[in-house]
Amino acid sequence: MRIRLLDRKLLRELLKDAKRSDRELSKKLGVSQPTVSRRRVQLEKELSDGYTIVPKWNKLGYEIMAITLVKSKSVLASKEKYESIRKKGLEWLMKQPNIIMSSGCSGLGFNVFNLSLHRNYSDYDEFTRNFKLEWGDAIEEIESIIINLAGPEVLKPLNLKYLAETIE
């Protein structure tokens, strides 16, 4: 899909701050407000999964972000078994509000990736325990990286605004 120059500029501005009005954006981009409004609607249809704020997680009570890597058992290699487990997995994932992203992946021998938020270590520990109980038959290995969201080592907080400058 080829994106027009104006759309790229508009997308950049929306990544920086999607709350800005079409009027403000039209001044910034040097085009009319109706043009911005039309292009925003089209971009939302084609490129957007929706609008949301990026909260300060620790201010909302989330102390931990976990990156969990999973290696599924090789018995899932058959097409029928894979499809069955995948369907069950999607249903389970949608019921896990603390998992904010999940995907297949490759590297270090793992093939599933989850990104999750937890209020504290007990919450994370319970999540991990329940994950293993639910999926133990399908999992060969599970490893997590724990990130302290309330600590001074958060050097660059999670925010999509940083991507704005990469859109050409």
Task: Please give the domain boundaries of the chain with CATH numbers for all domains.
Answer: 5-52 (1.10.10.10), 57-148 (3.30.70.920)
The two tokens of residue 165 are 């400058």
DSSP state of 97: T
Q: Which residues are within 8 A (CB) of 106 and not within 5 positions of it... i.e. 6 or more apart? A: none
Q: Which residues are within 8 A (CB) of 100 and not within 5 positions of it... i.e. 6 or more apart? A: 115, 116, 117
CA distance 118 to 62: 5
Q: What is the pLDDT of residues 30-76, one digit of tens each?
A: 999 999 999 999 999 998 888 888 888 888 999 999 999 999 887 66
8 Å CB contact between 162 and 12: no
Q: What does pTM read for this prediction?
A: 0.81
8 Å CB contact between 74 and 82: no
